[in-house]
Amino acid sequence: MRIGFISDIHGNFTALEAVLADIQAQGVDQLICLGDTVSLGPQPRHVLNALREWNAATIMGNHDQAVLEPQRCAEFEITEHLIPDLYWTRDHLPEEDLRYIAAFSATQSVQFENGLQLLAYHGSPKKTTHLVLATTPVETLNDYFEGQSASIFIGGHSHVQMQRRHGNTLFLNTGSVGNAFQFAYTNNIPPRLVNWAEYAVVEQSGNSFHADMRRVYFDIEKLLVQVGVSDLPGAEWWFRQYKNHSA
């Protein structure tokens, strides 16, 4: 069984289109989205329509929660300068799209044919805002994953790809489709974007299991045209991020 995992699209449909073309070429049995579908980028409706078309099983991210309940955005750890983008996104989504987001699940489990169990979430199985990094202390991991029986865990939220084996457990992070960071957002140092989209394909076949952490380059100029024609409050941020970009 081959599963495509995408996360943290953040309204960047240009990056999502490139990733979906790569997934199409790879061939997957199922597509699972780990949340943060919208807010920040210029095309939230296009993103949600694509997820519907692909029949993606989608997990709720902290930005999705904040779009549904913007008055609670501090609780969902939305950085202050991103709040206008959050309201812009909400204002550009019809009721039908808000209902679609409200139906996202908290987690998704997968049982592979050989008995291997996988659990997918946004931040951690406990909370959408938990950060799981290569450097997260073991005590913190034990707390976040307490009582879980899966041996493969996959999340998003950090916007940085990761593959970390800990004992019999494998922790994966798909990275971000629409907003991949150079470094995880810690110590309040503002993140910088890299020039590509990230996602993962996970496969169990016979007696083997593997995780393919993929990188897809997308048309940044096309994205910036979309940012330019939108009235997105954070448009300047996107232009700054990709100034002098090169692959």
- Positions that interact with Fe ion (CB under 5 A): 8, 36
CB of 36 to Fe ion, least distance (A): 3
CB atoms within 10 A of CB 181: 19
Comparing CB distances to Fe ion, the nearer of 22 and 36 is 36
Q: How far is the CB of 215 from Fe ion (least distance, A)?
A: 17
Select 10 or 46, whichever has its Cβ closest to Fe ion: 10
CB of 96 to Fe ion, least distance (A): 23
Nearer to Fe ion, 34 or 119 (CB): 34
Distances (CA, A) of 206 to 26, 111, 152, 163, 210: 19, 14, 17, 22, 11
Q: Is 27 exposed, middle or buried (0-12, 13-18, 19+ CB in 10 A)?
A: exposed
Residue 28 vs residues 38, 39, 54, 64, 175: alpha-carbon distances, Å: 23, 27, 11, 25, 18
CB of residue 40 to Fe ion, shortest distance in Å? 8
Look up residue 48 and give its two tokens. 């949600």
Q: Which of residues 8 and 17 has its CB atom nearest to Fe ion in the complex?
A: 8
